[in-house]
Amino acid sequence: MEFDLIARIRDRASTRDDVVLGIGDDAALLQVPPGRQLVVAMDTLNAGVHFPANTAPADIGWKALAVNLSDLAAMGAEPAWCTLSLSLPGGDAGFVDGFLDGFLELSALHGVALVGGDTTRGPLSVCVTAHGLVQPGRALRRAGATPGDDVWVTGTPGDAAAALAALQAGAAVDRALRVRLDRPQPRLAAGRALAGLASACIDVSDGLLADLGHICAASGVGACIELDRLPASPALSRFRPELRWPWQATGGDDYELCFTAPAAHRDAVAAVLAATGDTAATRIGMIDTSAGVGAQRPDGAPWAPAMQGFRHF
Amino acid sequence: MEFDLIARIRDRASTRDDVVLGIGDDAALLQVPPGRQLVVAMDTLNAGVHFPANTAPADIGWKALAVNLSDLAAMGAEPAWCTLSLSLPGGDAGFVDGFLDGFLELSALHGVALVGGDTTRGPLSVCVTAHGLVQPGRALRRAGATPGDDVWVTGTPGDAAAALAALQAGAAVDRALRVRLDRPQPRLAAGRALAGLASACIDVSDGLLADLGHICAASGVGACIELDRLPASPALSRFRPELRWPWQATGGDDYELCFTAPAAHRDAVAAVLAATGDTAATRIGMIDTSAGVGAQRPDGAPWAPAMQGFRHF
C-alpha cells in the first residue's frame, strides 16, 4: 500500500532541472548551484494540535508546506526542494489526493519540487523539510537587531487567531479569517527583498510578542511595540481593540514576517516590499535596551496579554 | 516548554565547520562543498509501528537516525547533517535526554551534525531528514542492475525479524538479535566503497526479497536468490532453515545493503569491503530476465514465503 501511495505522489509531483533524482529511490539527489548556501527548515503538523480536526485535507497539505516555506522566507532564502513524511491511520488514497491538491498548489506557486520522503502508518501527522538557497552572507537571522532599529511586521497579524478563537467557541467563522488560518501565505518575496536591509527577521508562528522575543533574545536587546500601530485586516477591524489586541499581539499561525531594520532604511524597506507585490509592512515599535518585549496601550500604559504565544506542550 | 527542549538538544548537539548556522534560528544554513551533489533522505518512526512500545528511548534515538543514514549508505553518500522533528505526548525531558543519548552516539560515530528541526506535542513520532554528499555520477541507485549481475547482501539479514518475532510471541529475546533490531548499523563505509563497483543498491528495510524487488522494478529485470546462500549470524544459525528463511528473506529492519554488481567485480567487491572494516558481503543470487524476484530452496524447488516484506498499511 505504501508503494501505491508513493506512486500516487510521484505521478503528481513536478520537478526542476537541479533535481538529479527525485521520488522513488533511497534518497533524492540534488544539484546545489555554485555560490549558494543551503537553507534547511523542518516542521511537523499534528492533527488536533496544529490544525483543527475538521480541516480539509487540501488545507492541511497547503499549511504543512506553508509553515516550512515561511521559515525559508524568514531567512531571506529562495525555496527549491522539499521532502514530505506523511503518517496516516490508514492508506486513505482520497485523503492523500486532497492533501496533494493543497500541497502541490502551493509548491507550484513557488517553484518548489517535492523530491522525496515517506508514507507511514500512524496517527495523522505531516512532517516537511524545505530546502532553500541563499547567497553567502545574505541570510536573515534572528540575531542582529540593534537598539533604535524599527520593528516591522508584514501583513495583518491576528486573523488566524481570531478564526481559531471562533472555531473553538463553536461560533461562525468569518471566511476571510478562516482562509488566513488554513492557507497562510509564506512571505517569500518579502523575505528575499529584505535581505540586506533588515537587521533581524523571524516568522510569526507562535505570536508576535513571543516571536519578537526570540529576535530580542538572539540579539541581546529588548523591544516595545505600540498596540495602536498593529495593522488589522478589514475582517479583524470589526472587533473592538481590547478584543483583537490579544489576537494581533499574541496569536500564532499567521506566518507573517516580523523584522527589524535601521531607521535609515525606512523608505527602502517600504519601496522594496512594494516592488515585490507580495505584502506591505507596518512599523509597530522599536528595539531598545530593555530586558524583554513590552507592549504599550494608546494611552502609554503598559499592556500585558493573558497568554503570550502558542504553547507547544 | 518547546524552547527548553530545543535548548536541551542544542546544548548537546555537536557541529561541523560547514554548518554556518545550526539549531536556534528559523532554519539551518549549510555550506555544500564545491563538486558535490546533495543527497537527502527522510524517514519517520512511529511508536508501535516501527518500534515496540517498550523500546528504550536511547534505542529509539539511535534507530531514528540509523534508518536515515542507511538510506544515505544505499546511495553511496557521505553523511553530513541531519534535522530532527520529535513529537511527544508531553514535554518529557527524561525521554528527550535518553533519546539524545542514542541519537547523538550514532551521529558522533559518523560525524553527522544535528542542525535543526522542531519539537511538537503529539503521539510519539520521530521524523529525521539526513543530508549527505556524493561526487556527481557516483551515487548508487536502484536502477542499473543487468541480467547476469551477482546479487549481494552485506552482513546477516534476518536477525531483527527473529528478535521481533520472539518479542511478539512474548518469548525471551536473544540479546544478540535484539541489538540488531534496536541498534541497526548503517552500512555507510560499505556504501561508499561500493560506489563505482555496484550496478544498483538498496537498503533492506522492508525485507530482502521486497527490497530486491524494488531494484528489479527500477532496473527492468528479475532476480533469483538461493536460500542456502543466505548468511546467518551465530544467533540465527541456531534456528532450523525452514524457520529462519522467512526472517532472512522477508524480514525487515536489518538495514543491510542489498546490491548488484557484474561478476567481473567479484574480487574487487570483496576487497573494498574488507578494506573498510565495516562488513563483509555475501553473493546470494543472480539478476535474470524473469518478471520478478524468486527464491530457490537447496533442492532447486521454488520457495514462496507466507508474507513478503513489511506492510506499511
* CA torsion, ordered A40, A201, A237, A308, to nearest 10 deg: 80
> Tell me, what's the pLDDT at B307?
53
**Residue A115: closest C-alpha in chain B:** B40
Residue A2 binned pLDDT confidence (cut-offs 50, 70, 90): low
Which residue from A242, A10, A259, A241 is spatially nearest to A115, judged by alpha carbons?
A10
* Higher-confidence position of A278 and B59: B59
Q: What is the dihedral of CA A52, A54, A58, A60, to 10 degrees?
A: 20
Q: What's the grid cell of residue B308?
A: 513478503
pLDDT, residue A304, reads: 86
Can you tell me the distance from the alpha carbon of A256 to that of A184, in angstroms, rounded to the nearest whole number? 8
Provide ipTM, 2 decimals.
0.93
The pLDDT of residue B306 is 65
Q: What is the pLDDT of residue A312?
A: 45
Residue B91 pLDDT class (50, 70, 90 cuts): low
> Counting one residue from A and one from B, how many pairs have CB atoms under 8 Å apart?
216
User: What pLDDT is attached to residue A243?
Assistant: 94
Helix ranges, chain A (H): 2-12, 57-74, 93-109, 159-168, 175-182, 188-194, 208-219, 234-237, 241-250, 266-276
Q: Are strands A150-154 and A125-134 parallel, antiparallel or unpaired?
A: unpaired
Grid coordinates standing for B171? 518469548
Q: Which residue, among A16, A26, A125, A135, would best test binding to B if mutated, counting the most B CBs under 10 Å from its CB?
A: A26
Alpha carbon distance B197, B5 (integer Å): 44
CA separation, residue A32 to residues A289, B32, B132 (Å): 40, 7, 12
DSSP letter string, B189-219: HHHHHHTTT-SEEEE-SS-HHHHHHHHHHHH
In the block, cell 573498510 appears at B276
Please judge whether B30 and A38 are an interchain contact, meaning their C-beta atoms are less than 8 angstroms apart: yes
**Is the CB of B40 less than 8 angstroms away from the CB of A131?**
yes
d(CA B167, CA B173): 6
Pick from B17, B37, B40, B39: nearest CA to B29: B17
* Antiparallel, parallel or unpaired: β B200-203 and B78-88: unpaired
pLDDT digits (tens, 9 = 90+) for A83-98: 999 999 886 788 999 9
Residue A309, all three cell numbers: 504565544
Q: How many CA atoms lie within 13 A of A147 on its CB side?
A: 8
From the number of C-beta atoms within 10 Å of its C-beta (0-12, 13-18, 19+), residue A252 rates as buried
Contacts of B9 in chain A (CB under 8 A): none
Q: Can you give the length of chain A in residues? A: 313
Chain B contact set for A41 (CB, 8 A)? 26-28, 116
DSSP for residue A211: H
Mean pLDDT of B170-196: 95
Cα A283-A289-A290 angle, rounded to 5 deg? 95
Residue B313 has pLDDT above 50, yes or no: no
pLDDT at B155: 97
Looking at residue B183, its pLDDT comes to 96
Share of chain B above pLDDT 90, in %: 84
Judge whether B24 and B124 are in contact, CB under 8 Å: no
Are the beta carbons of A282 and A158 closer than 8 angstroms?
no
**A211/A207 Cα distance (integer angstroms):** 6
CA nearest to A210 within chain B: B3
Cell of B279: 562488513
Residue A310: pLDDT over 80:
no
- In this predicted model, what pLDDT tens digit does every residue of B238-290 receive, in sequence order? 999 999 999 999 998 999 999 999 999 999 999 999 999 889 999 999 999 99
Phi-psi region of A224 (alpha: psi -120 to 50; beta: other; left: phi over 0): beta
Which residue of B3, B4, B26 is the best one to mutate when testing the A interface, meaning the one whose CB has the most A CBs within 10 A? Answer: B26
Burial class of residue A87 in the structure, from the number of CB atoms within 10 Å of its CB (0-12 exposed, 13-18 middle, 19+ buried): buried
Q: Which residues contact B169 (CB under 8 A, 6 or more apart)?
A: none
For residue range A18-72, list pLDDT tens digits in order: 999 999 999 999 999 999 999 999 999 998 888 877 889 999 999 999 999 999 9
The answer to whether B142 is annotated as binding is yes
* Over residues A255-266, mean pLDDT: 98
Taking the C-alpha atoms of residue A122 and residue B124, their distance in angstroms, rounded to an integer, is 10
On whether B310 is known to bind a ligand per the annotation, the reply is: yes
With an 8 Å Cβ cutoff, are B40 and A2 in contact?
Answer: no
Q: Is A175 labelled a binding residue?
A: no
For B18, the grid coordinates are 560547514
Residue A264 predicted with pLDDT over 70: yes
Which three cell numbers mark A164?
Answer: 481559531
Report which DSSP code applies to B155.
Answer: S
**Span B195-213, mean pLDDT?**
96
How far is the C-alpha of A121 from the C-alpha of B189, rounded, in Å?
31
pLDDT of residue A309: 52
Q: Are B78 and B16 in contact (CB under 8 A)?
A: no
Does residue A276 have a pLDDT over 70? yes
A313 vs A205: which has the higher pLDDT: A205
A118 assigned binding-site residue: yes
Q: Which of B118, B134, B201 is opposite residue A42, by nearest beta carbon?
A: B118
Q: Give pLDDT, residue B2.
A: 58
- Inter-chain residue contact B313 with A91, CB threshold 8 Å: yes
Res B3 pLDDT > 60: no
What average pLDDT does the segment A152-177 reach? 95
Does B43 count as an annotated binding residue?
Answer: yes
Query: Range with the lowest mean pLDDT among A38-42, A207-211, B86-90?
Result: B86-90
Which whole number is the average pLDDT over B79-91?
92
Report pLDDT for A3: 57
- Summarize the confidence of residues A228-250 as an average pLDDT: 96
Percent of chain A past pLDDT 90, that is, above it, reads 84
- The counts of H helices and E strands in chain A are 10, 13
Alpha-carbon torsion (B143, B147, B152, B153), positive or negative: positive
Separation CA A142–CA B109 (nearest Å): 31
Q: Which residue has the higher pLDDT, A213 or B277?
A: A213
Cβ–Cβ gap A123/B42 under 8 Å: no
CA of A299 vs chain B CAs: smallest distance (Å):
33
* Residues 6 or more apart in contact with residue B262 via CB below 8 angstroms: B146, B148, B149, B150, B199
Q: Is B265 annotated as a binding residue?
A: no
Query: What does the pLDDT look like over B128-171, one tens digit per residue?
Result: 999 999 999 999 999 999 999 999 999 999 999 999 999 989 99
For residue range B94-118, list pLDDT tens digits in order. Answer: 899 999 999 999 999 999 999 999 9
